[in-house]
Structure formats: C-alpha cells, structure tokens
Amino acid sequence: MKKFFLAPSILSADFARLGEDIQKVIDAGSDLIHFDVMDNHYVPNLSMGPMVLESLRKYNITAPIDVHLMIQPVDNLIPQFAKAGANFITFHPEATQHIERTLQLIKDHGCKAGLAFNPATPLNFLDYILEKLDLILLMSVNPGFGNQSFLPATFNKLREVRKIIDSNFLDIILQVDGGVKVDNIAEIAFSGANSFVIGSGIFKFSNYNLIIQEIRKELKY
Ligand code: DX5
Ligand code: ZN
C-alpha cells in the first residue's frame, strides 16, 4: 500500500472547467479526488450532487473519487453516489440515525466507507464500528467552506486516532481536511495523517505541477 494519499478538494476548482481542472491535478500527481457535497442543511453552503460526479466519469475522470457527504439525512443519496462512480463515501456520524446501517449501506453498494469528525465531535463515535471503517476523516476546520485556517487542536486528535488505529493493527486511512497547506503538511503527517485533503492550497496556484511537487517534497514521497 502507498504511504500517502493526496486528495485535492475540487470545491476550490474552477466549476466552469471542472473536468479539465480535475484532469490537471490528476496529471500533476494526485491520488484521490475529494468531492465535497454540501446541502445547506447540515452545513450552511450548497455544492454539488451525484449528477456532477456522473458527468465527470463520462468526461473520463478515472481517478478514485472520495465523496465527503456534508448532508443530513445521509442514506438517501448513497445509492446514487455509488452508481455515479464514487469509490469512497464518507459521512458525519451525527447526521445519520444509524451509523452502522449507513456504513453497511455504503459497503453493500461496493464503496469503501469513511466516518468524518468535526473539530468538536468526540471520538467515541468510533466505538463498536472501528473495524468496519476504511477511512477516518478529521475535520481541521468547521465544515462548509474552503479556505479556512487549520485548527491546531487537530494535532492532538490526529495523534489519538493514529494510536487507536495502530494499536488495533488496522489498515484505516487517516485523512485530514481543512486548511492543509504546503507549510503545515509535514507536521500534519508527523501527527499521524496519511491522507491530505487540500482545496485552496492547490487550486489557488496556477501551476498545479509545481505546488504538488512542493507538497510531495514536504512529505518526502
Ligand atoms: C470543507 C471541505 C473541505 C474544503 C477544504 O467543508 O470539507 O474539503 O474544501 O478546503 P481548504 O483546503 O481550502 O481548507
Ligand atoms: Zn471535505
């Protein structure tokens, strides 16, 4: 297995040229494409739904798509996202009535399942379902918007989750999302993350190759 998974968040991409912009970050060396779904209910913003993902697959985007659902309720849209071409589907535990059922629904539709924690969401949502997870996402900003500042309390939370994963000998991706930039990514990796969602930290630059090279240099991979 590869050590790090770089996941550009297309929330900061140019929506008028989404397919092209995504192909560019893939060519520059991304591992996953992070697809942020917002419903103006669970979070105070609105982004994109499964139809956009379906069109991206038709445009020939073949990279793994990591769907981050910031929606409530969760279950209704899982079949559509899976059918549209999602590889990972991650949701927030407090947005569903039945966490285990939602995880199973994702798996039944052939996708890998992730659980997302807001900065103030306690880690005890991991109890009893840890072994069902393929990915744990720690939000390092409050969800809803790109281009916010990384909350330093995330470092301790990362260390805690890394300890939980390793002490149970599990192969779960530990992803961090929000305010990740070239100048803090090394410390984030050192705290235990192995997947990095980066929106503005990539898309605000005109040369994706250059910025992704710099990020990889920081991570030494
Ligand atoms: C925020 C989203 C993030 C966001 C990250 O709710 O989940 O994926 O796009 O953007 P940056 O990297 O700009 O903080
Ligand atoms: Zn996200």
Residue corresponding to tokens 């997870």: 133
∠ Cα 37 52 91 (to 5°):
25
* Model confidence pLDDT, tens digit, residues 25-66: 999 999 999 999 999 999 999 999 999 999 999 999 999 999
The answer to whether 174 touches 136, Cβ cutoff 8 Å, is yes
Ligand with an atom nearest the CA of residue 10: 1
Q: Is 3 helix (H, G, I), strand (E, B) or coil?
A: coil
* CA 30/CA 119 separation, integer angstroms: 26
* Phi, psi angle pair for 36, to nearest 5°: -85, 120
CATH of 5-219, one of 3.40.50.12780, 3.40.50.300, 3.20.20.70, 3.30.70.330: 3.20.20.70
Tell me the per-residue pLDDT of 186-207, one tens digit each, with 9 for 90 and over.
Answer: 999 999 999 999 999 999 999 9
Question: Is the peptide bond between 73 and the residue preceding it cis, with omega within 30 degrees of 0?
Answer: yes
* Positions of the chain with pLDDT lower than 70, given as ranges: 1-2
- Is this prediction's pTM over 0.90? yes
Given this model, what pLDDT does residue 3 score?
86
Pocket test for ligand 1, best of 9, 39, 89, 182 (most atoms within 8 A of CB): 9
Taking alpha carbons only, the member of 204, 208, 199, 179 closest to residue 47 is 199
Phi first, then psi: what are they for 79, rounded to 5°? -60, -40
Q: What is the C-alpha to C-alpha distance for residues 148 and 28, in angstroms, rounded to an integer? A: 24
Structure tokens at 97: 């009535």
Domain boundaries, the chain: 5-219
Ligand 1 cavity residues, CB under 6 Å? 9, 11-12, 34, 36, 68, 141, 143-144, 146-148, 177-180, 197-201
Question: Which residue's structure tokens are 């993350």?
Answer: 193
Enumerate long-range contacts of 150-154, CB under 8 Å, 24 or more apart.
150/178, 150/179, 150/180, 150/181, 150/184, 150/188, 151/119, 151/178, 151/179, 153/119, 154/119, 154/188, 154/191
Contacts of 144 (CB under 8 A, 6+ apart): 38, 43, 44, 45, 70
| Structure tokens that stand for 9 in this block | 């968040």
Q: Of ligand 1's atoms, which has the minimum distance to the CA of residue 201?
A: 12
Measured CA to CA, the distance from residue 203 to residue 146 in angstroms comes to: 11
In contact, 71 and 48? CB cutoff 8 Å:
no
Check: CB of residue 136 under 8 Å from CB of residue 127.
Answer: no
What sign results for the dihedral spanned by CA atoms 145, 66, 174, 221?
negative
**pLDDT for residue 2:** 52
Nearest to 125 by CA among 134, 135, 115: 115
Query: What pLDDT sits at residue 1?
Result: 42
